Amino acid sequence: MSRSARNTRILTLAAGTALASAMLGGCATQAAPRAEVSAGRADVALKKGKVSTAIAHAEAAVLADPRNAAYRAMLGAAYMEAGRFLSARTSFDDAMALGDETPRTALGYALAAIATGDRGAALEVLDDWRDEIPAADIGLAYALAGQTEMGVHILSNAVRSGDNTPKTRQNLAYALALNGNWAGARIMAAEDVPADQLDARISQWAAMARPEESQNRVAALLGARPVADGGQPAQLALANHPTHEQLVAEANAFASPVEEAVPANDLADASGELPALPADDAGSAQVLAVAPQRVDPPADFQAAFATPAPSGATPAQMMAAAVDFAAQPVVQQTPTRLGAATPAPRRVVDRENRASEILASGDHLVQLGSFSSEAGALRAWGIYAKQFPQLSQFKMVITKAVVRGKTYYRVSAGGLARAEAGSFCSTAKRKGQGCIAWAASRPLPGAVDTGVRMARR
C-alpha cells in the first residue's frame, strides 16, 4: 500500500471512529454546554445535596470531555452519593486509568469495590495507597474490606500519635465492632456519642456486622441509600473514546498487510514460495507459499476493525518476506498445519533446532491500556486479570512510549499466538474494554522501549 493510500485510510478510520463516538451521545443536543460549565454545575449541585442533578451535569461533562480524569472522578463521587456503587467503581477506575493519582479517588474506588463485593480489588488499591490515604480513612477502609485487625492497628496508632479527633475515634470504635470487640467499641464510641444515643449506635453497627452487609455498611457510612445499578451509561465507557495514539495504532494494525503461510501443495497457482521448514529432527521439509487473500468488504463500521485488512502479495513482496523469515533470529509466525511436500531446490533454511521453539512460543501481544505512570500500569494489570481470568496464562508486559511529547506506560499481555490475540481482543471489545493486537516484531507507534519492562505469569 502506498504512503498516500495508507494515510488516507488512517484519516478515514480516525474520522469514522470520531463519528461513532459522537453518535453514542444519543439524544445529546447541539447546544450542549461546554465540559467545564457542566462540571461546575455538578460541583454546585453536589454541595447542595442535589444528587440527581449533580449526576446529570457530571455525565454531561464526561461526555463533552471523556478523557478528563477529574470529571470522571467527580462523576464517581456523585454516583457514590446516589448509592450507585457499580457505576461509581467504573468511574473511579476510569479516572485512575487516565492518570488520576489523588488519594481521594483511590479511596473512592476502594469503597465502591467493597460495596460491590470485590474485597480483593479494594485491598490491592489500599495496599498501593497506604502511605497517601489519611490513617483515619484507610484504617476504616481496611476494616470494611475484611482486614479488621489491620484497621484497628492503623486507627489505634493514629489516635496514640496525636490524631485524636472525633472522626478517628469513631472510626476506631466502628473498626473494633467489626473486629468483634464490642466492649472496646462501646467504650470508644462513648467518647463522642451522647449516652442516650449510644445503644442505638451499637445496635446499628451490630445489624450490619455480617459479611454480606458490605454494601449497606458503605451506604450507611456515606449516608446514602443503595439502589439497583445497571452500571455507567454505555456512551460514557472509556473504551468508546480512544486517544489519538490508539486511533493511529488501530489504523496502522488495520492497514498493515498480513500474509498467511499455507502448504504449497494446497496452492497450485501460487506465484512464489517461502523457504522450507523442517517439521522435526528427522529432516523432512515442507515448502511454504504465500496465499493471496480474498478481499471481502466489511459489512458495517464495526466489522472493519474486526480483522486486519486483507491484501495480496506481489512476487517482490514474497521474496522480501522469504529473506526476512530466514534472517530473523526471533520467533516468526508458524502455520497451523504443515503438509508433506517435496523440498524446494532454493531458499532452503536449516532450522531443525528452532522448529519446536517456534511452535511453543507466541510472538503477539494485546494492549489493554495506556497510563501516565508505571505504578498505574501495574495496578491496572491486577484489575484486568480479574476481568479476564484467561490472562493468567500469559505474561504481563509493560512498555514505555512517548506520543506527542507525553510519556505513557502501556499494559499488554504477551506470549499469544496471532489467532489468540485476535480472539482475545474480540472478546474484550464485546465487554467494552479497549484492546489492540500487535506483533512483538512490530511495536506500536511511539514505543521507545521494545523490550519487556516486567513480565510474570
Cell 503461510 belongs to which residue? 261
How many domains, in total, are found in the chain?
Answer: 3
Does 8 reside within a domain? Answer: no
pLDDT at position 297: 60
Q: What cell was used for 399? A: 512498555
Assess whether 377 and 430 both reside in one domain.
yes
Does 248 reside within a domain? Answer: no
d(CA 224, CA 87): 14
Domain housing 313: 257-353
Does 393 reside within a domain? Answer: yes
Assess whether 111 and 214 both reside in one domain.
yes
Assess whether 97 and 167 both reside in one domain.
yes
d(CA 430, CA 445): 25
Phi, psi torsion values for 24, nearest 5 degrees: -65, -15
Assess whether 336 and 288 both reside in one domain.
yes
Assess whether 311 and 164 both reside in one domain.
no
Does 435 reside within a domain? Answer: yes
Quickly list H helices, 116-243.
Answer: 119-128, 135-144, 148-160, 166-178, 182-189, 195-207, 214-222
Per-residue pLDDT tens listing for the chain (457 residues): 433 433 333 333 333 333 334 333 444 445 567 889 999 999 999 999 999 999 999 999 999 998 899 999 999 999 999 999 999 999 999 999 888 889 999 999 999 999 999 999 999 999 999 999 999 999 999 999 999 999 999 999 999 999 999 999 999 999 999 999 999 999 999 999 999 999 999 999 999 888 888 999 999 999 999 998 889 998 898 877 666 555 555 555 555 444 333 333 333 333 332 333 333 444 433 444 444 555 556 555 455 445 455 455 555 555 555 445 444 444 444 444 444 444 444 433 343 343 333 333 578 899 988 888 888 888 888 888 888 888 888 888 888 888 777 888 888 999 888 888 888 888 888 777 888 888 888 888 878 765 544 444 3
Does 454 reside within a domain? Answer: no
Does 413 reside within a domain? Answer: yes
What pTM was computed for the model? Answer: 0.53
Q: What cell was used for 79? A: 454516583
CATH at 421: 3.30.70.1070
Does 22 reside within a domain? Answer: no
Assess whether 273 and 386 both reside in one domain.
no
Does 243 reside within a domain? Answer: no
Assess whether 340 and 382 both reside in one domain.
no
Assess whether 337 and 369 both reside in one domain.
no
Assess whether 311 and 424 both reside in one domain.
no
Assess whether 304 and 171 both reside in one domain.
no
Assess whether 90 and 208 both reside in one domain.
yes
